[in-house]
Amino acid sequence: MSSEKNKQHLPAEREGGEVLDDMLPEEVSRRKFLGIAAFTGLAGAGLSVGLASCGKGAEKAPSGSASQGGGTSHSGKTGGLSYHVDPGQLDEYYAMYSGGHSGEVRIIGEPSGRVIMRIPVFNVDCMSGWGITNESKAILGTKPDGSPKYHTGDTHHVHGSYKDGTYDGKYFWVNDKLHSRLARIRGDVMVCDKITELPNVQGFHGIFPDKRDPVDPNINHTTRVFCGSEFRIPHPNDGTNMDDTDGYYGLFTCVDAETMEVRWQCKVDGNMDLVATSYDGKLAAANQYNTEKGVTFPGMMSAERDACVFFNIARIEEAIKAGKTIPSPDGSDIPIVDGTKEANKDPKTAVTCYVPIPKSPHGVNASPDGKYFVCSGKLSPTASVIELSKVLDWFDGKLKDPRDAVIAEPEIGLGPLHTSFDGRGNAYTTLFLDSQIVKWNIDAAIKAYQGDKNAKVIIDKIDVHYQPGHLNASMNETKEADGKWLVIGNKFSKDRYLPVGPMHPENEQLIDISGEKMRLVHEAPVYPEPHDFILIRRDVIKTRQVYNIDDFPNAVKRQEDSRIERNGKKVTIYLTSMAPAYSMTEFRVKQGDEVTIVLTNHDKVEDLGHGFAIPKYDINFVVSPHETKSVTFVADKPGVYWCYCTHFCHALHLEMRSRLMVEPA
Ligand SMILES: [Cu+2]
């Protein structure tokens, strides 16, 4: 084993860019550039401070900075919020969006609808290098040859971590329906840091974090993430029992919010899609269709009622402690409890409660007052209001029929899917078939269900364009629901934008819900296909602008540490970047070497990232300020390859290059 240190770079004399400055014409010197950049950075910092201090203000003053933009303004019954955000002004809300079959997550500013960032998660992204760098591949999971295990994903639902019943901005989770994976995004850098593949399930669709610990009353933040699976599959799914469709089943999975390890699973009857959790931490629920256990279209829709299945989390975890589990189909030691209806007839020992809901319900959403879950019928024109205290009564043996937990079931329109809330007792439901949003009052619906013919349930309806799926009001999934904005994710845009060929974007629409009447104020096209999103007040999110260099174990901390190390056929190139140069102008390797490039960006100025791309070697990634990333490849092609910066960084950005020189074997 030979090891050599090859210093063919510009070591100490370049530290701090002194020599480099002398090499450049004065008017384009790096110091001057950094002077301007630093000033811009400072201005940015000032903005951040201003933002932090006006966070609470944004909460109090409905229009915030947006109102200064002088956009349309109405008052009284039609609502009075301005959606216009002037150049240089910041949005009031972060909208965390799923990206559907693009496999990513997006950050959109509201009310402007501007796409601010795309976060690669289950996809490969050659801008950031996600799926290309060693660090991202370690999170994604790889095949034995080092390539990503999957190149595809299908994100549906993004949800954030909670503290005291509202978002704390620490984490966001998103599902991959395609390969049944749960990913976590760090709220401080908006980068995915962990991915867990759920065992024994297909069609992992709904997710929701708990809002406080279901067992320990002293823990008032998110500790678990619940995952519903939609497709029933044979167990084990090894090809031996494919025709025994009665034996197919799905599992509800609990993942630890911190470790991201699977804690347990619970066997259920039907197909689950959306998941909701209670504010007291005790209950999680999933709406269920296909309780008929059909495997064909007609077979899935024959029953008049399906269910919303409730999980008694504390009881499930007690059952696991008492060893009341069934064997895991994959042979692992993941504890599985039997949550089927048949096995949970006695309420006093039941771990699940199946509340009957009309015809193939789709969404289930928790009201911000903590009292109700609303579950919509999809094939029934109704929304069912389930009172959570009554579900707990059933578990205590005090309510005979789970159906009695339904305390209202108003007819609201055709194809009701998802429901959102304004914190003033009103609910907003998407009507997929009617292409409308309906605003209805929960208390009035309860009175009407009790026989009050004068109760005015439906308050307003508004057309949207077209076929709405998810909707979410600002802060609506928290106890701080503020009833200002409602975003609608429409599945079709049809004629709303300039035609761009057969593929159409989707249409995101913004509705002002501050008044009694809803007011459609804005729309924007989005790349297909976001499914769901949450709107978070901007003061909740606290991101850093520069990485901590010490957070990366492989960081090249000093420019003079730049070097080439050889260990047999393995060559590691330790490199730094500082505008407009890499720390080595060339690096020679031999054909057949396995080359690892470790790159630390030494620029510490906000927004000053550098790219690193190698022609013909399929390498392309970006390092943000004080970030370290690495790539590994086999140098199988002899010749000169100009490694260049892909991320505009400097007046001499085009000159920011080094030569990878591969000597023929
Ligand atoms: Cu650069």
The CATH number linked to 13 is 2.60.40.420
Q: Assess if residue 272 is contained within a domain.
A: no
Find the 625 Cα to ligand 1 centroid distance in Å: 11
Provide the Cα torsion 49, 97, 486, 471; round to 10°.
-160
The Cα–Cα gap between 411 and 432 comes to: 14
* CA-based nearest residue to 383, from 439, 463, 466, 302: 439
Find the 632 Cα to ligand 1 centroid distance in Å: 21
Q: Assess if residue 169 is contained within a domain.
A: no
Mean pLDDT of 232-255: 94
Mean pLDDT of 453-473: 97
Local structure of 342: helix, strand or coil: helix
pLDDT band at residue 51 under the 50/70/90 scheme: very low
Find the 648 Cα to ligand 1 centroid distance in Å: 6
The per-residue pLDDT for 12 is 35
**78 pLDDT higher than 90:** no
Where would I find the beta strands (DSSP E) of 211-317? 224-231, 250-256, 262-268, 271-277, 283-289, 305-312
Mean pLDDT of 394-409: 97
Find the 115 Cα to ligand 1 centroid distance in Å: 24
Average pLDDT, the chain: 89
The Cα–Cα gap between 310 and 317 comes to: 14
**67 pLDDT higher than 70:** no
Find the 610 Cα to ligand 1 centroid distance in Å: 4
Q: Return the amino acid letter for 162.
A: Y
Find the 657 Cα to ligand 1 centroid distance in Å: 9
Find the 655 Cα to ligand 1 centroid distance in Å: 9
The per-residue pLDDT for 622 is 98
**Strand ordering across the sheet containing 283-289:** 271-277, 283-289, 305-312, 352-358
Q: And the tokens for 473?
A: 């009001």
**Strand ordering across the sheet containing 639-644:** 586-590, 657-663, 639-644, 610-614, 619-623
Find the 20 Cα to ligand 1 centroid distance in Å: 14
The Cα–Cα gap between 272 and 363 comes to: 10
Q: Which helix (H) or strand (E) holds 156?
A: strand 155-163
Find the 599 Cα to ligand 1 centroid distance in Å: 12
The Cα–Cα gap between 371 and 348 comes to: 22
Q: Assess if residue 427 is contained within a domain.
A: no
Find the 587 Cα to ligand 1 centroid distance in Å: 18
**47 pLDDT higher than 80:** no
Q: Kindly state the DSSP code that residue 303 receives in the 8-state scheme.
A: -
Find the 609 Cα to ligand 1 centroid distance in Å: 7
Paired residues of 522 in beta bridges:
510
Q: And the tokens for 637?
A: 């092609």
Find the 6 Cα to ligand 1 centroid distance in Å: 24
The Cα–Cα gap between 195 and 121 comes to: 9
Find the 231 Cα to ligand 1 centroid distance in Å: 47
End-to-end CA distance of the chain: 19
Contact 295, 279 (CB under 8 A): no
The Cα–Cα gap between 389 and 57 comes to: 35
**463 pLDDT higher than 50:** yes
Mean pLDDT of 609-634: 98
The Cα–Cα gap between 484 and 200 comes to: 41
Any residues with CB less than 8 A from the CB of 243 and at least 6 apart, and which?
none
Cβ neighbours, 10 Å, residue 87: 5
Contact 444, 501 (CB under 8 A): no
pLDDT band at residue 288 under the 50/70/90 scheme: confident
Find the 582 Cα to ligand 1 centroid distance in Å: 8
Paired residues of 312 in beta bridges:
283
The Cα–Cα gap between 602 and 606 comes to: 12
Find the 644 Cα to ligand 1 centroid distance in Å: 8
Q: Which string of b and e fits 534-548 if b means at least 16 CB within 10 Å?
A: bbbbbbbbeeeebbe
Contact 493, 504 (CB under 8 A): yes
**33 pLDDT higher than 60:** no
Beta pairing, strands 657-663 & 586-590: parallel
Q: Which string of b and e fits 2-18 if b means at least 16 CB within 10 Å?
A: eeeeeeebbbeebbebe
Q: Which helix (H) or strand (E) holds 49?
A: helix 30-53
Local structure of 70: helix, strand or coil: coil
Which of 73-77, 291-295, 610-614 is most confident?
A: 610-614
Any residues with CB less than 8 A from the CB of 426 and at least 6 apart, and which?
439, 440, 441, 442, 459, 483
Q: Which residues surround ligand 1, an ion (CB under 5 A)?
A: 610, 645, 649, 656
Q: Assess if residue 49 is contained within a domain.
A: no
Q: Return the amino acid letter for 65.
A: S
Find the 397 Cα to ligand 1 centroid distance in Å: 67
Contact 165, 178 (CB under 8 A): no
Largest CA distance in the chain: 89
Find the 31 Cα to ligand 1 centroid distance in Å: 15
Find the 627 Cα to ligand 1 centroid distance in Å: 13
Give phi and psi for 110, each to the nearest 5: -125, 140
The per-residue pLDDT for 65 is 36
Question: Count of domains in the chain?
Answer: 1
Q: Assess if residue 9 is contained within a domain.
A: yes
Local structure of 36: helix, strand or coil: helix
The answer to whether the peptide bond before residue 466 is cis (omega within 30 degrees of 0) is yes
Enter the pTM of the model. 0.88
Q: Which helix (H) or strand (E) holds 176?
A: strand 166-176
**181 pLDDT higher than 60:** yes
Q: Assess if residue 585 is contained within a domain.
A: yes
Q: Assess if residue 636 is contained within a domain.
A: yes
Q: Which helix (H) or strand (E) holds 460?
A: strand 458-463
Cβ neighbours, 10 Å, residue 295: 14
Any residues with CB less than 8 A from the CB of 503 and at least 6 apart, and which?
528
The Cα–Cα gap between 297 and 360 comes to: 12
Cα–Cα–Cα angle for 300, 304, 307, rounded to 5 degrees: 75
The Cα–Cα gap between 625 and 582 comes to: 14
Mean pLDDT of 346-372: 94
Mean pLDDT of 63-81: 42
Any residues with CB less than 8 A from the CB of 181 and at least 6 apart, and which?
122, 153, 175, 195, 196, 197, 198, 204
Q: Assess if residue 619 is contained within a domain.
A: yes
Find the 275 Cα to ligand 1 centroid distance in Å: 44
Find the 650 Cα to ligand 1 centroid distance in Å: 7
Q: And the tokens for 449?
A: 């269900």
Q: And the tokens for 591?
A: 């054909």
Q: And the tokens for 355?
A: 């509340």
Contact 392, 360 (CB under 8 A): no
pLDDT band at residue 17 under the 50/70/90 scheme: very low
Find the 122 Cα to ligand 1 centroid distance in Å: 27
Provide the Cα torsion 347, 220, 169, 512; round to 10°.
60
The Cα–Cα gap between 287 and 361 comes to: 6
**252 pLDDT higher than 80:** yes
The per-residue pLDDT for 81 is 87
Find the 612 Cα to ligand 1 centroid distance in Å: 8
- Percent of the chain past pLDDT 90, that is, above it, reads 81
The per-residue pLDDT for 79 is 56
Range of the domain at 612: 5-44+554-663
**3 pLDDT higher than 60:** no
Mean pLDDT of 224-241: 94
Find the 17 Cα to ligand 1 centroid distance in Å: 14
Any residues with CB less than 8 A from the CB of 652 and at least 6 apart, and which?
24, 28, 579, 580
Q: Kindly state the DSSP code that residue 476 receives in the 8-state scheme.
A: T
